[in-house]
Amino acid sequence: MNQGVEWAAHCAALLAALPPDVAVPAATLAEFHGLPAPYLAKAMQQLAAAGIVTAVPGRRGGYRLARSADQITLLDIVDAVDGDDAAFRCTEIRRQGPSAVPRRYYSPRCGIAAAMWAAEQAFRDSLATVTVADIAAGVQRDSPPAALEKASRWLATALTR
Amino acid sequence: MNQGVEWAAHCAALLAALPPDVAVPAATLAEFHGLPAPYLAKAMQQLAAAGIVTAVPGRRGGYRLARSADQITLLDIVDAVDGDDAAFRCTEIRRQGPSAVPRRYYSPRCGIAAAMWAAEQAFRDSLATVTVADIAAGVQRDSPPAALEKASRWLATALTR
């Protein structure tokens, strides 16, 4: 899995914790999370392309969530950054080799592929139950109070400089 | 996901359909499935290393299942061929950047990692419900009768030549 998934999820959670009209530049998101700015910029562009965040132009510009944090799921983020292609690719082995018969005689789906894709669907269903709002609430709950305080202070300065 | 997963699952299903004392050489498994022999050999070695198949030496040697097909799951095969490392790697971003405080103040698990790993567990739980016996029964049920017949005849010849 692309490392950008982790970065994008953290950035989305941070944006969810801020007032909805506050936009945060990608460089500030990178600095806040201690991440390499060019790579994070790419992950944020992927979120924007998927309609998860909006790029706000101008002096106080940057990224903000494109919709309410409870309307964005972890699955949306994974699909945006990692793509939504199936991990298992069926190459129809059953129709190869000396036992092959014309393809019209086979069931539409190989049972092995069906089982693999059912497991992938279980993965996706699980991710779809978690929203960015849930994640942001978890960060708020689980973070050391001193870290939250440092974060607030640092952001207040960074976003007004 | 490693393409060997698909190959290994098909080979395990074929071995499950044969009498338990019949061993099939990797080269025969490759020919039967129309797969490149050197690559398939690697996947079979991975199944052997994981204790899913046993390499039987000698003139009528080859691979056979190491235990009953209803005691081998699709998860066993995926773990053997693709490894059982988590797809999501948590780099503890929450402890980076200007808001960081000493690590002892953080909850043991970041909520984002917990949600990603819960989804991976759902994937694994789904694969663990499917046995090689189930897959073999599915192949038997879904294959064109003419293909099953050609397979039997071809294998009978290949395994006695």
Q: Is the alpha carbon torsion for A140, A141, A142, A145 positive or negative?
A: positive
Cβ distance of B142 and A90 shorter than 8 Å: no
Write down the pLDDT at residue A29: 98
**8 A C-beta contact, residue B93 and residue A6:** yes
- Measured distance CA(B130)–CA(B16) in Å, rounded: 14
At A64-101, the pLDDT tens digits run 999 999 999 999 999 999 999 999 999 999 999 999 99
Report CB contact under 8 Å: A34, B97: yes
Window 98-117 of A: residues touching B by CB (8 A cutoff) are 98-101, 105-107, 110-113, 115-116
Residue with token string 């293909």: B147
Helix A111-128 crosses helix B4-17 at what angle (to 10 degrees)? 130
For A38-74, the pLDDT digits (tens) are: 999 999 999 999 999 999 999 999 999 999 999 999 9
Nearest to A123 among B9, B123, B130 (CB): B123
pLDDT of the residue at B104: 94
Chain B nearest-CA residue for A113:
B6
Measured between beta carbons, the chain B residues lying within 8 angstroms of A117 are none
The pLDDT value recorded for residue B1 is 87
CB spacing of A146 vs B101 below 8 angstroms? yes
Give the gap in angstroms from C-alpha B99 to the nearest C-alpha of chain A: 5
pLDDT category at A102 given cuts 50, 70, 90 is very high
Q: Which residues make beta-bridge pairs with A54?
A: A64
Average pLDDT, chain A: 96
Inter-chain CB proximity B9 and A112 less than 8 Å: yes
**DSSP run (H or E) holding B8:** helix B4-17
Is the pLDDT assigned to residue A130 strictly greater than 90?
Answer: yes
B36 and chain A in contact, CB less than 8 A: no
Q: Rounded to an integer, what is the distance from CA B67 to the centroid of its chain?
A: 14
Q: Please report residues of B whose CB lies closer than 8 A to that of A35.
A: 93, 96-97
pLDDT at res. A161: 79
What pLDDT, on a 0 to 100 scale, did the predictor assign at position B161?
A: 79
Contacts of A148 in chain B (CB under 8 A): 99
- Tokens 């999370």: give the residue: A33
Question: B74, B84, B93: which to substitute to probe chain A, counting the most A Cβ within 10 Å?
Answer: B93
How confident is the prediction along chain B (161 residues), in pLDDT tens digits per residue? 899 999 999 999 999 999 999 999 999 999 999 999 999 999 999 999 999 999 999 999 999 999 999 999 999 999 999 999 999 999 999 999 999 999 999 999 999 999 999 999 999 999 999 999 999 999 999 999 999 999 999 999 999 97
Which of B33, B130, B147 lies nearest to residue A93, judging by beta carbons? B33
Cα–Cα distance, A124 to B52 (Å, whole number): 28
Give the pLDDT confidence score for residue B124 in this predicted structure.
98
The span from the CA of B145 to the CA of B160, in Å, is: 23
Rounded to an integer, the average pLDDT of A101-126 is 96
Predicted confidence band at A148 (pLDDT cuts at 50, 70, 90)?
very high
Q: Find where tokens 């007032």 sit.
A: A19
The pLDDT of residue A127 is 98
